[in-house]
Each structure stands twice: as C-alpha cells, then as structure tokens.
Structure 1
Amino acid sequence: MRDLFAFIYRFRAFLLFVLLEILCVYMVVRYNTYQGAAFFNSASTYVGRVLEVQSSVTDYFRLASVNSILARENAALREQVLRQHLEEQADSTAELSGMLYAASDSMMASPYILHASRVINNSIRRTNNYLTLSIGSADGIKPGMGVIASTGAVGRIKTVSAHYATVTSLLHSQMLVSAKIKKDNTMGTVKWTGGDYRTALLDYIPLHVKPVVGDTIVTSGFATVFPEGIVVGTISSVEQEPDRSFYTIEIALSVDFAQLSYVYVVESPLREERETLENNAGIIPHDQ
C-alpha cells in the first residue's frame, strides 16, 4: 500500500492531467451532438473489429468439433446414397428379368452403416502403409470393415482397440481390391505395387475388352469389405504386352492419400452372415 501511495504521489501531475483529459472528453461528447455522434461511430468501429478478431479466434478453436459434426452429417447422407443405389439395382434387376423382384427388408432397411472418423496417423511412402483412426470397438468398429473417403476407397480395418483402429491402406503390398470397369462391368483386381502413392495397377482385364484412358474403375461389391460402386480411380494408361493374356493397366487413384483427414468406416450388418455361409460352403472369397 505504501508503494502505491508513493507511485501516485510521484506521478500526481501526470495522473491529474489524464483525469482532466478524460473529464474534458466526456463533457465534449456528452454536450455536443456532432462530437458525440463521431465518437460513438468510431467506438463502434473499433469495438466491431475487436469482436471480429475474438470471433475468429473462437471459431478457430471450434474447427475440430465443427469438422466432426460435418463428417457425421456427411456419413448420414452417404448412407442414403448407398441405400438409393441399392434400390436402383433392385429396380434394374426387376426390369431385366421381367419378373417381380424386391430386395429383402433387412437389406433395404440397413444395407450399410457409415461411421465418420478423423485420421490421426497416416503413411504413404513405405512398402506397406497404414492409417490410424480415432474410432474403435466402443463405436462398433471391427477388423475387416472397409474404409472409404469422400473421393473413393481407402483401405480395410486391421486392428481395433476401444477408441482407436488401424487401417491397412490401399497403398499396401498385400491389399487387393475387387474392382470393375464401370462402363461394362469387366472384373479385375486393383493392387498397389509401390512407388507413386497416386497410382496403382488394374490386373486381369482380358484382351477382348477395350479399356480406354479415362474409364472409371469402381469396387465390384463381390467382396464384403466395400459396397459396389465406390470409385477407386480412372485409367491413365493401357498396354498390351505380347507375352500376357491380360492388359497392363495403370490407374490414377481417386483418393489423395497425402491429404486424408476424415474417412468413413463401412459397416455391413449382414457381412458376418455372408462370410460364415461362404466359409462353410468352402467358397474362396473374392479379393478384398
């Protein structure tokens, strides 16, 4: 307290000057219309700028939660798209067969469930690449589920803990994706052979087919990992080698693995039933 009084006494002249200045400004603004309007307009401008900066800072720290909400909303919308695609397939089958056909209630009610998740770790330059997701068994995630992004197929769930999951990336030497050329449904297998993370190979396309650069490659739906019609990439080159009975086709992957931030884990409620049936029948599963 003594130091405070000493400070006030030392700067008493300056403090008195500041106090009188404030009093003068108040009186000028209070009793003069023009000066009062100018003051409040200027004050409003500066206050608005301060509030704008404050809002920007607040919004920045809320980006994570906002992105999470948007990802969940996108997952719900994509579920609707997949359901609509299934309905269109049913209608198409009915028209082709000339008979009454309806997909089962269980398939129509819940063909796929999408779980939005943030990518918290990712590699693209190794021989075998993986991702880590901030979602786990507590959210219903199980090994073997497919993972997609807004632009296409990403990989398959490998291991799961309560709150995290690892994903075998499409950029993995052992990862095979059952795919087809969209325009004519010719079946093939997509695999990554290393090197450029933006390209992969489409194998087992026979020579009587006429693939061209620009053709879209999508998942076949024959495996239980990915729904049918998820984009994998587009053909970037086609070569016919004399000693092979299949084309050598390079595709440009639709997913930019270097920029992945949010993905969707695909849950198929009927997947286990189908896999159990096929295993019991001794049927060799398609490429995943």
Structure 2
Amino acid sequence: NYLTDRKLEALEGGVRSPYIYLQERPSLQYAPKDIHSLKPPTVYSMILPFAPRSGSHIARPLSRALSSPLVTLTSTVSHQEPISISKQGATTGLAYDSAMQSHMCTCGTNDSHPEHGGRIQAIWNRLQETGLAHRCHALPSPGRASLEDIQSCHSEAHTFFFGSQISHQNINLRKLGELPIKNFVRLPCAGLGVDSDTTWNEVHTWAAARIAVGCALDLAFKVAAGELRNGYAIIRPPGHHAEYQQAMGFCFFNNVAITARQLINKLNLKKVLIVDWDVHHGNGTQATFYDDPRVLYISLHRYDDGSFFPGTGAPFVPF
C-alpha cells in the first residue's frame, strides 16, 4: 500500500525517535489502506499556511514514499518475574497510560489516520507478550503535565488552546489571536484537524497530549534522580514537530523539549543531548534549543532538498 499525506512516508523506517531517556514515537504496526483517491481537505474555517520557525522557507509539496513490508521479529526473551526497583538495583522504567489512546479523530475510524491509539497499544502488548515488560518497572501514570511545565516551551495561548477543553477556556482573546491557527480544517474523513493530517478531538486530545508530557517528565526525572537506570516512554501524541505556538505533524506539545527544559530548570543540568532518528526533521525541537548552548540536538532525517516534510533540517555547510 502507498502511504500518503505529509507524515505517512515517515512510517517506512522501523523504530522511532528516541530522545534523552525515552523513545517518543515507536513504529506503526498497521499500514493504512491507500487513500490517494480521497479528495483534498476542505477548509472548515480558516487556517494559515505553515511556515516553520526553524527553516528559511515554507516546505514545498511533499514527496510520496512506499512503506517497507511489515517485519515480525521472533522473540528470544524468556519470561521472568518483575524486577524490584531500588537505588541500588535501578532498572529500566516503562511509562505508559492507556488514556492516551482516547486521542482519535472524531470520524470514529483509524483507517486513514496512521497516528492513532492502536500504535501504543500494540507496542505495550508486544512488550507484555515477549516478557520484556516483566523485566522492567512499569511506572504508575503521573497524569497530566501542568500548564506551567508546558509553557516552558510553548506560548500561553498555545498551551491553553491545546491543553484544555476549548469550550471551557478563559483566555485572553488578543493572545489567542497570535496563534497561527484560527480554526480547524475539515478532513477527508469528515473529522476535524489543526492541519491536513493532525486530528483534533475536543473531548480527549487536550488531556492525552498533557498525559504524554507528564509521562515523559516523570520518567526522565526518575532517571535523573537515580531511581531508574534508563527508561522508555510509550506516549502519544508525539511532539518533535510542535513549535513555540504551532501544532503540526501529529504534534501538539513538544514532549522531549519540555522534558529537557524542565531538567535544566529544576535540576540545574549543564548539558543535555537529544538524539532524534525519526525520518522527519524535528523542526520544533531544533527551534526550541537552537540558541541554547546547554542542549545539543542531533537529528538524523531525510531532507530531499527540502521536498520532504517538514522541509527544514538542511545539512550545514560551513563557509
């Protein structure tokens, strides 16, 4: 099957986006059906064109790519009893909350949406089946990240707009007017999105996005405190495309950027390394830390002279 739309070609490359102590976006387990025949989205109200803060130009029309065949690896891991956790015997932590699955398109189907709750559920189930989960420490859900934590990397308007139910918001309209998005796009499936591929569900998306940030923060701080040796966060929505006040590419809040910023702010860390090997450039993460010497961001991605989403991340050529 062809994988279409600007993020679908990302799914050809296996395991996704590990950052700092966690992996933000594991690979898709189920390839969506061909949606080339779908009509382009019609504008539900008004949305401004995407101009990445970290790039020098607006992304050109995006290339399409075939997905790789789904490969199933045979497990050689034996089932073991859960490992106890202590300062002396720290182990690998697993951060997960099934509530993040509730973020889904209002159309009610995942057929044309490659980023959906089944992704993290499949990963969690696989960890259980292979016995890997029993060799790790499953962390209780910390719940939603605070709005204050999120505002360490996003504007107040962006944080409240995507971090609370819109119908219940009490936000300064002048600040809300600063956001690139003025309303939502009607998707080909009849659902709503903040752009042509990033679905929005007023009831559930805001909470799932904050839980994803909360899981990343909780895991990273436990690793930093020595309670865990390392950790793996199975979270969604993802985050590395989210900019200061721009949601895009399935991302609302930049989970990893917020986590790194809070580790620096609260623990006074001097150096943080973020390694991103998603097939797409993490424009949001780069933009967040471009002028911060405490954070080294390394992105391994496909560029194609700017024709591959998001059109940023050109190789640096010194003069």
Q: Shared fold by TM > 0.5?
A: no
Greater fraction helix: 1
Higher CA-based Rg? 1
Q: Normalising by the residue count of structure 1, what TM-score does the alignment of the two structures yield?
A: 0.22
Greater fraction strand: 1
Which fold has the larger relative contact order, with Cα–Cα distance below 8 Å and residues 6 or more apart in sequence?
2
